[in-house]
Amino acid sequence: MRTFWKRFTGLFSNRRLETELDEEVAVHLDMLAEELREQGMDARAAQEAARREFGGIDSMKEAYRDRRGIPRIEILAKDVRYAIRGLRRSPAFTIAAVLSLALGIGANTAIFSFLDTLMLRMLPVEKPEQLLSLYRTGGWGRGFASYPQYLEFRRHAELFNGVLARSGAYKVRFDAGHNNRAEFVAREFVSGNYFDVLGVKPAIGRLFTDADNRTPQGHPIAILSYDFWRSRFGLDPGVLGRTLMVDEQPLTVVGVAAPGFHGVEVEHRADVWAPAMMFRGAIAEDGMHWVWILARRRPEISKSRIQAAANTIMRQHLASVYGDKPDSAFRRWAMEQRMEVRDGGLGISMLRDEFAKPLTVLMAAVGLVLLIACANVANLLLARGAARRREIALRLSLGATRRRIVRQWLIDSLLLALMGSILGLLFAVWGERYMLLFLPPGLSDSFSVAPDATVLCFTACISIISAIIFGLAPALRATALDPAISLKGGASQAPVGGKRFGLRKALVVAQVAFSVVLVVMAGLFAHSLAGLRSINPGFTYQNVMTFALDYPRAWKDADKDRFRQRLLARVAALPGIASFSCGALAPYQGGIWNAGMRVPGSARTATEGVEVALQGVGPGYFATLGSRPLRGREFDENDMRATRKIALVNQAFVSEFFPGLTDPVGRVLSFDDSKPEGGEPTYIVGLVRDILHKGLKIPAEPTVYVPFHQGQVGFDPTLMVRAQLSPDTLLPMIRRELNRLDPEVALTEPRTIRQRVDDSIFADRMIATLSGFFGGLALLLAAVGIYGVMAYAVAQRTAELGLRIALGADPAKIGRMVLRDGLLLITAGIAIGLPLSVAAGRISSSLLYGIQPGDPLAFVLTVAVLLVIGMVSAFVPARRAASIEPVEALRHE
């Protein structure tokens, strides 16, 4: 090692060592000559004798130098310099190759970086592979469970080495006592054993124990995440013992968690942890599903055994809680709950559930793009190799080994790959920034655009693999020649073996085939998105701004109500406001509010109550959404205070409970579902369109709209304002009014309805846009490939074609012949690509909405587009072939 290092440094301090050696030799010669002089020789003779005695100075120096540097590295450095010179000399080739690779590598890096964050990166906890996520299904949403359910699972030490519970990491108000500006932090409520079960250590201070989570509202302490400690407190250890206002709860900081730990949910990172007992609400209520359960399984117990056990535990738990309740829709709903045991090592992620498949498909797509790019570069290299035959032949005949020349070529390739990956990383950062725009707000926090070590390693790996893929075959090809023939014949006339040219054609066919797959996919996803876009959501989504308000905790419902009225009144007075309202849940807000009910006279509810979706809406709700009631009327101000119970129903409700009826106004339903005829009646006053509240893909369910009363509805309403103004002008105006009324109230989640609709299909939009982009890229690369091969073929055959024209062949016919050759390549590519596309379409059929994987439109368009592009790219070389001047061509000989 030491020798190596000395030799290595020797490479860089060449000049100094050289002069030192010169000096040493000079001294030696002088000493020797002096001694000889002392023995009586005259000065000149002594010098000559000394030189003889010393031996060949130059050969010695050579030996010395060989010894000093690492010959291999020196040769390598020489090769690299040579390669750089070569690439510089042909800038067009270099730019084309580097750009192709950069696009391929960049696309792969960008998609991989997403994939890594969401699907590959393990949580920074102890033995993450043992973690399980207990995912609740059936009845009242998914994932989150109740605290009693958590306690039930926690008892089973025979299955688990620890069971923890945590709430979602939601943004809440935060005040460190410095300023009055509204700040928000992500707070997560956790069970006392949370850090212990995960095996997370404190950076400073201490973490929670079970003793910190015993009595409701009795443990006002908090732990900070390391990143939050750094960004907000500058790593000041004095933060320990300080009291922070988190969601208007005074919490004393007792510790900071280890760096890198942000909680267990991928897309929602926690800044502050508080004991679950500090949760404001009915912590231990059975119907309150607010904690997500994670467990560390005993290593010896398999996941399937735990699943079986979980089914039993859940069944017994539900029987004990709901078993004695009267038979009703509510009870059936409750008893349907199951606990699904999932792997938890990657962290929990609702985004992953939705987005994993699209990402995987995109990853496969960019893999194909890279292969196409590699084929392109390989083709360029082959053409370059053909042009450099004479040079290679010369080097071979001068004694260079083939191995050395192949190595030289691979160095060329690696250099191209290196440049491609550097540029590709830039493209990737840019591309990731673009991709993040598709994600709904708040979900992009955990995705960083700056590549980390894993991503860089991935990029380096694919670059090197690409370099070998596109570099090796051309290198072997280019050096497999007989120097004598090549030197004699010169570059242009070298025998073009069928095989040599066959490789280039095969590459183009492969390019076309892969392009077909990508273009078909792009067509399928675009068609699917167009289908989604054409769905009528039940309202017009232009110009409606929605937002929520965050009030001080001390405010009562009546205060909030009054404030909201005042704000809406002031907003209504602004110029350009068409209408306004509020509602809970607002369209696309997420969340579920259900109730059991009976419809007197309906066969559907004759034997049992039925659960329907419930919405609380303010006056003018449907006018604001641009969806006038089909029958009857919507609520007005008076209805908000009336004691007579009234409701609106949607079309799905009518077809479910009043089949065949066109006007349900005047009919009755009842939320008392204990008896067949119902109890207190609720009068239906209007019929409204089906509004797709949960996303464009989810069909409307039977829904009952009731007047919004704060207090009766468990949610803060979302406010909606329809205006002629653009959101960018409207929003600051609303904020200004809000600030004038009360700066303590914050405006949150501002989003136009249009954006909310877009958010609900973000994965479809993203995959359609990106696959369209990749399809286009593939077409471009394939076009360049076809053009390159055809142009090269014509150049190679200039003499022959010229001769044919001279002998009387029709130039137009020659042109058509070239064109036909090009078309043959494309047709072959399409023939191979189509079955591949069918397979690819089938794999991604679950991502398609409303169309079949064999969608004829996508396939026909793809074939047409490829034929056109193929024709265009073969046309220029064909024209050139047809316009060859026989005299020129023959003189060229």
Partner 1 sequence: MSTGSSKADVLQGTLDLMVLRTLESMGPQHGFGLAKRIQQISGGALDLNQGTLYPALLRLEQRGWIASRWGASDKNRRARFYELTPAGSKQIARETDDWARTVALMERFLRVAE
Residues near partner 1, by CB under 8 A: 2-3, 6-7, 20-21, 23-25, 27-28, 30-32, 34-35, 53-57, 60, 63-64, 67-68
- Compute the distance between CA of residue 234 and CA of residue 232 in angstroms, rounded to an integer: 6
- Compute the distance between CA of residue 23 and CA of residue 25 in angstroms, rounded to an integer: 5
In the bound complex, what is the minimum distance in angstroms from residue 39's beta carbon to partner 1?
Answer: 13
Pairing outcome for strands 682-688 and 646-650: parallel
Residue (63 or 558) nearer to partner 1, CB: 63
Q: Return the exposure string of 794-821: e unless at least 16 CB atoms fall within 10 Å of the residue's CB, then b.
A: bebbbbebbbbbeeeeebeebbeebbeb
Q: In Å, what is the CA distance from 335 to each residue of 283, 316, 329, 598, 673? A: 21, 10, 10, 20, 18
Residue (3 or 180) nearer to partner 1, CB: 3
Residue (60 or 485) nearer to partner 1, CB: 60
Contact 470, 349 (CB under 8 A): no
In the bound complex, what is the minimum distance in angstroms from residue 787's beta carbon to partner 1?
Answer: 55
Contact 869, 785 (CB under 8 A): no
Question: Is the preceding peptide bond at 585 cis, omega within 30 degrees of 0?
Answer: yes
In the bound complex, what is the minimum distance in angstroms from residue 13's beta carbon to partner 1?
Answer: 14
In the bound complex, what is the minimum distance in angstroms from residue 78's beta carbon to partner 1?
Answer: 22
Question: Is the preceding peptide bond at 396 cis, omega within 30 degrees of 0?
Answer: no
Residue (20 or 885) nearer to partner 1, CB: 20
Residue (55 or 326) nearer to partner 1, CB: 55
Task: Using DSSP, state whether 87 is helix, strand or coil.
Answer: helix
- Compute the distance between CA of residue 228 and CA of residue 261 in angstroms, rounded to an integer: 11
- How many of the other CB atoms lie within 10 Å of CB of 325? 11
- Quote the crossing angle between the two packed helices 147-154 and 303-322, to the nearest 10°: 130
Residue (68 or 667) nearer to partner 1, CB: 68
In the bound complex, what is the minimum distance in angstroms from residue 77's beta carbon to partner 1?
Answer: 19
In the bound complex, what is the minimum distance in angstroms from residue 186's beta carbon to partner 1?
Answer: 57
Residue (12 or 499) nearer to partner 1, CB: 12
Residue (4 or 683) nearer to partner 1, CB: 4
Residue (27 or 282) nearer to partner 1, CB: 27
Q: Assign residue 798 a region: left if phi > 0, alpha if psi is -120 to 50, beta otherwise?
A: alpha
Residue (55 or 575) nearer to partner 1, CB: 55
Beta bridge partners of 257: 202
Q: What is the 3-state secondary structure (H, E, C) of 5-59?
A: HHHHHHHHCHHHHHHHHHHHHHHHHHHHHHHHHHCCCCHHHHHHHHHHHHCCHHH
In the bound complex, what is the minimum distance in angstroms from residue 38's beta carbon to partner 1?
Answer: 11
Q: E strand or H helix at 194, and its extent?
A: helix 194-198
Task: Using DSSP, state whether 467 is helix, strand or coil.
Answer: helix
In the bound complex, what is the minimum distance in angstroms from residue 79's beta carbon to partner 1?
Answer: 24
Q: E strand or H helix at 372, and its extent?
A: helix 350-387
Residue (63 or 76) nearer to partner 1, CB: 63
Per-residue tokens: 212: 């910190």
In the bound complex, what is the minimum distance in angstroms from residue 52's beta carbon to partner 1?
Answer: 9
Residue (54 or 333) nearer to partner 1, CB: 54
In the bound complex, what is the minimum distance in angstroms from residue 412's beta carbon to partner 1?
Answer: 33
Distance, C-alpha 360 to centroid of its chain? 10
- Quote the crossing angle between the two packed helices 498-533 and 350-387, to the nearest 10°: 150
Residue (21 or 75) nearer to partner 1, CB: 21
Query: Residue holding tokens 């501002």?
Result: 750
Q: E strand or H helix at 173, and its extent?
A: strand 170-175
Residue (63 or 122) nearer to partner 1, CB: 63
In the bound complex, what is the minimum distance in angstroms from residue 48's beta carbon to partner 1?
Answer: 14
Tell me the longest C-alpha to C-alpha distance in the chain.
Answer: 139
In the bound complex, what is the minimum distance in angstroms from residue 31's beta carbon to partner 1?
Answer: 4
In the bound complex, what is the minimum distance in angstroms from residue 41's beta carbon to partner 1?
Answer: 16
Q: Which residues contact 666 (CB under 8 A, 6 or more apart)?
A: 683, 684
Task: Using DSSP, state whether 272 is helix, strand or coil.
Answer: strand
Beta bridge partners of 338: 137
Q: E strand or H helix at 103, and its extent?
A: helix 91-115
In the bound complex, what is the minimum distance in angstroms from residue 775's beta carbon to partner 1?
Answer: 58
Residue (32 or 428) nearer to partner 1, CB: 32
From 345, 371, 497, 472, select the one nearest 412 (Cα to Cα): 472
What number of helices (H) and strands (E) belong to the chain? 28, 23
In the bound complex, what is the minimum distance in angstroms from residue 342's beta carbon to partner 1?
Answer: 58
Q: Which residues contact 680 (CB under 8 A, 6 or more apart)?
A: 645, 670, 671, 672
